[in-house]
Amino acid sequence: MRLDSLIDTTTKQIQLDTLDIVKADTTQIFYNLSDKSVDNLILGMPEWLARILIPVVVTITIFFLGHFVSWLKGKCERKKEVESYKNLISKWIELIKKAIETQIESCNEFAESLEKSEDMTPIRFSANKLLADKIDSLPLEKLINAFSVNTTGDKDKNYKMTFNLVSQFNYLRHVEQLIEKNFEGYTKFFDEIIKE
């Protein structure tokens, strides 16, 4: 029986020793972890967490900054394009304005000459190109973008102004064709009278 009691005592002692070792190891592990987390803080985070989060945050930040810079660059390019179209159309309007004024003078002089004419001589008429067809070389979308979409202010007013601009160019093209057609009719009529 002594042997059994000795074995029981020895087993209990081994179990107690094992528990003490496990307890000591666990305490040491927690002490080491808490000691490292206190001593090795990076941006207020434990080192192991910082080693994971910092590269992830930096990568995501660079990704979004890249997209933001690309968006900003595209916006600046569109703004430059819109400004260049506005300037181009403004210059064309100035050129057309001079041609229209000259055409008006020619039409007025022609009408006065017809009223004053008493004999059967043909009256000279100098037709000017109004250059209104130049606007057709620009797509309608570019005009809308330049004067309506990419502008500030009241959108409805901008759309109406763009519509009026396009309508005026269409009207000028029509008037130019009408002047040519009427002058051709005048010369044909005059030629028929002379032939008779």
**Residues 99-129: tens digit of each pLDDT:** 888 888 888 888 888 888 887 777 788 777 7
Query: For the chain, what are the domain ranges?
Result: 80-195
- Give the span between the Cα atoms of 50 and 166, in whole angstroms: 61
Mean pLDDT lowest among 10-14, 115-119, 132-136: 10-14
CA gyration radius for the chain?
A: 45
CA-to-CA separations, 68 to 56, 60, 65, 123, in angstroms, rounded: 18, 12, 5, 67
Percent of the chain with pLDDT over 90: 12
Q: Is the pTM of this model over 0.75?
A: no
Q: What tokens appear for 151 in the block?
A: 């502008």
Q: Which pLDDT value is given to residue 144?
A: 81
CA angle at residue 168 from 165 to 172, to 5 degrees? 145
Cβ count near 132 (within 10 Å): 21
Summarised one tens digit per residue, pLDDT across range 48-91 is 888 899 999 999 999 999 999 999 999 899 888 888 888 888 88
